Amino acid sequence: MKNLKFLFIVLAAVMMVACGGEKKKSAEIVEPVNPRIDQTMEHSNMDEEELTYLATQYLDFLKAKDFESALAMLKSFDGKNVVPLSEAQKNSLKRVYVAYPVFGYTIDDIVFYSETDTEIKYSIILFEKQYDDDLPNTVKSILTPKRIDGVWNLCVDNRSVGEKL
């Protein structure tokens, strides 16, 4: 009986040591890092004024249905250089312009992340809304201007015009 008690105490001690060892660390959830979070470009009021002017001019051309002038303002970005839009890109955008005529617009925000990662967020008003009408009348979109060699260029995201460079 004494041996059985001794054996029981030894087994209990072994179990306590085995179970009380290093605890496994629970798997930590790693959130994806957004590289834009801490990235804000130093810019001047002149940068903001220039981009506001370019966006206003572009949207005024769309409102006047002067699609060729609006398209002439836009460029594409191949990762290093600003390049003219291809004919396929121009045709794709022109189809959008015809389908969604601009009655009015607002420039909602300009966000500076870096010289090649800036956004102009704007809303296009498609038709005049009656005060009791619940039908949405706006479409939101963005331009992605790039500053190359100190010059701002209005660019469109290649994915938005259905073509990769």
For the segment 79-91, what is each residue's pLDDT rounded down to a tens digit?
888 999 999 999 9
Task: Return the number of other C-beta atoms located less than 10 Å from residue 4's C-beta.
Answer: 8
Number of domain units in the chain: 1
Please indicate, yes or no, if residue 55 is contained in any of the structural domains.
yes
Greater confidence, 5 or 87?
87
Instruction: Work out whether the CA dihedral 45, 51, 54, 59 comes out positive or negative.
Output: negative
Range of the domain at 151: 45-159
Establish if 81 belongs to a structural domain: yes
Paired residues of 118 in beta bridges: 112
Complete DSSP assignment for the chain: -HHHHHHHHHHHHHHHHHHTSPPPPPPPPPPPP-TTTT------HHHHHHHHHHHHHHHHHHHTT-HHHHHHHEEEE-SSSEEEPPHHHHHHHHHHHHHS--SEEEEEEEEEEETTEEEEEEEEE-SPPPTT--S--EEEEEE--EEETTEEEEE--GGGGT---
For residue 146, tell me if it sits in a domain: yes
Residues 32-58 pLDDT 10s = 555 555 555 677 788 899 999 999 999
In a domain, 33, yes or no: no
CATH number at residue 49: 3.10.450.50
Evaluate whether residue 155 is within a structural domain.
yes
What pTM, to 2 d.p., does this model score? 0.72
Integer Cα distance of 129 and 142 in angstroms: 23
* Residue 24 placed within a domain: no
Confirm whether 20 is domain-assigned. Answer: no
Find the range with the poorest average confidence among 2-11, 42-51, 113-122.
Answer: 2-11
Mean pLDDT of the chain: 81
Q: Is residue 35 part of a domain?
A: no
